């Protein structure tokens, strides 16, 4: 069946993204073909487009999450008309029609729209495992969230605050600080130069952060080390400023994790998605799709994301 794809024609800047005609093959046993109605944009798409994460061989479509409606199913539990979503490898989510293993899919409950699902599958499940599995946030913990007004960042602030943590966040502007504050980040710190350790210590009465959720990497490393509490946990889960060189945490008995969503979903997909959807139902997570782009304008979405012009979640609409 014909499909359209936003394809990385080579590794490089946003201009390498071009719309191409593709084929979505008939589903084999265990597979489903779906028409996608909303596609999530994530920072990992930027790493893959640039060739920083070698997960495609160009020309190939990028994208890790989407939602849509089942057209054809050769898998038990899925029927034409079912509303579904996924966040998975390999890349290939920026397409209008996709065939993929049913094991990657979750059925959407009535209270979750396809647009919300496309915005939440990858970022929401990331917040789920970061707060509940990599490190279990407890009431009273001091949690430092970088890019607190970003796609994952806002969800981390909402959920960590509901868990009873004191949430400190870094953002690059007053407008982002206001947004983060409205979403559970009690103490936003505005900085464009990754300078936040002194304020984190001050806010936490000198102790520092019990856990740091760090999607920044290289340029924030020294400050993260300074901001970490004794026996604190540094969760390095992204590298928007470049790869992190392994820090020496001996001076603080600190621990470091470098977790990846797909190593958690490979065993716990349905449980993780279920907990995210329940958090939406209970008003703990408030997905906020603040940026919608036409499918063919994916390059604009990438330009805005890399230039720090976005906040909250971003979707492409086919």
Ligand X SMILES: NC(=O)c1ccc[n+]([C@@H]2O[C@H](COP(=O)([O-])OP(=O)(O)OC[C@H]3O[C@@H](n4cnc5c(N)ncnc54)[C@H](OP(=O)(O)O)[C@@H]3O)[C@@H](O)[C@H]2O)c1
Measured N-to-C along each axis, helices 174-181 and 151-162 cross at an angle, to the nearest 10 degrees, of: 40
Query: Pick from 144, 152, 167, 228: which binds ligand X (CB under 6 A)?
Result: 152
Tokens of 302: 């990438």
Q: Which of 32, 54, 50, 46 is nearest to 94 (CA)?
A: 46
Q: Pick the closer one to ligand X by CB: 152 or 221.
A: 152
Among 23, 90, 251, 260, binds ligand X (CB under 6 A): 260
- Under the binding rule (CB under 6 A), the answer on residue 188 touching ligand X is no
In the complex, the smallest distance separating the C-beta of residue 257 from ligand X, rounded to whole angstroms, is 10
CB nearer to ligand X: pick between 34 and 216: 216
Q: Which of residues 284-303 bind ligand X (CB under 6 A)?
A: none
Residue among 59, 89, 308, 317 that touches ligand X (CB under 6 A): 308
176 binds ligand X (CB under 6 A): yes
- 51 or 259: whose CB is closer to ligand X? 259
Burial of 88-106, coded b for 16+ CB within 10 Å and e otherwise, reads beebbbbbbbbbbebebbb
Nearest by Cα to 289 from 125, 116, 172, 145: 116
- Selection from 81, 124, 121, 76 nearest residue 103 by Cα: 76
Q: Which of 3, 96, 158, 172 binds ligand X (CB under 6 A)?
A: 172
User: Using CB under 6 A as the criterion, what x/- string covers residues 226-255 for binding ligand X?
Assistant: -----------xxxxx--------------
Q: Which of 215, 232, 254, 287 binds ligand X (CB under 6 A)?
A: 215
Type and span of the H or E element at 305: helix 298-306
Q: Is residue 124 within the footprint of ligand X (CB under 6 A)? A: no
Q: Judged by CB under 6 A, does residue 208 bind ligand X?
A: no
Nearer to ligand X (CB atom), residue 21 or residue 54: 54
Closest distance of CB 24 from ligand X, Å: 26
Whats the size of the chain, residue-wise?
318
Measured distance CA(152)–CA(149) in Å, rounded? 8
Residue 98 or 176: the one with the smaller Cβ distance to ligand X is: 176
Kindly state the number of chain residues that form the binding site for ligand X, as judged by CB under 6 A: 29
CB 293 within 8 A of CB 270: no
**Contacting ligand X within 25-44 (CB under 6 A):** 42-44
Nearer to ligand X, 73 or 126 (CB): 126
Count Cα atoms within 13 angstroms, Cβ side, for 309: 8
Work out the angle between the directed axes of helices 114-129 and 151-162 (0-180°, nearest 10).
60
3-state SS string for 222-274: HHHHHHEEEEEEEEECCCCCCCCCCCCCHHHCCEEECCCHHHHHHHHHHHHHH
- Chain positions 61 to 120 lying near ligand X, rule: CB under 6 A, are none
Return residues touching ligand X (CB under 6 A).
42-44, 122-123, 126, 147, 149-153, 171-172, 176, 215-216, 237-241, 259-261, 305-306, 308, 310
């Amino acid at each position: 069946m014909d499909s359209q794809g936003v394809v990385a024609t080579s590794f490089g800047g946003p201009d390498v993204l071009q719309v191409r005609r593709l084929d979505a093959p008939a589903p084999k046993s265990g597979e489903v073909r779906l028409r996608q109605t909303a596609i999530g944009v994530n920072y990992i798409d930027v790493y893959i487009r640039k060739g920083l994460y070698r997960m495609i061989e160009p020309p190939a479509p990028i994208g890790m999450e989407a939602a849509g409606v089942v057209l054809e199913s050769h898998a038990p539990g899925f029927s034409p008309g079912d509303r579904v979503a996924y966040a998975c490898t390999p890349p290939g989510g920026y397409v209008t029609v996709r065939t993929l293993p049913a094991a990657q899919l979750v059925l959407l409950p009535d209270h979750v729209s396809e647009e919300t699902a496309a915005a939440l599958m990858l970022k929401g499940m990331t917040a789920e495992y970061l707060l509940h599995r990599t490190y279990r946030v407890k009431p009273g913990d001091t949690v430092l969230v970088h890019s607190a007004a970003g796609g994952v960042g806002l969800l981390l602030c909402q959920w960590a605050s509901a868990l009873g943590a004191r949430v400190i966040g870094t953002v690059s502007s007053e407008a982002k600080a206001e947004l983060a504050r409205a979403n559970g980040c009690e103490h936003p710190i505005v900085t464009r130069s990754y300078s936040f350790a002194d304020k984190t210590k001050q806010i936490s009465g000198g102790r520092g952060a019990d856990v740091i959720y760090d999607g920044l990497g290289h340029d924030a490393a020294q400050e993260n080390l300074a901001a970490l509490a004794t026996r604190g946990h540094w969760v390095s889960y992204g590298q928007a400023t470049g790869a992190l060189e392994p820090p020496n945490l001996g001076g603080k008995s600190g621990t470091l994790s470098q977790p990846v969503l797909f190593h958690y979903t490979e065993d716990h997909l349905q449980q993780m998605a279920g907990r995210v959807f329940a958090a939406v139902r209970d008003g703990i997570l408030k997905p906020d799709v603040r940026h919608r782009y036409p499918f063919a304008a994916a390059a604009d979405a990438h330009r805005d994301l890399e230039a720090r012009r976005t906040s909250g979640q971003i979707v492409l609409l086919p």
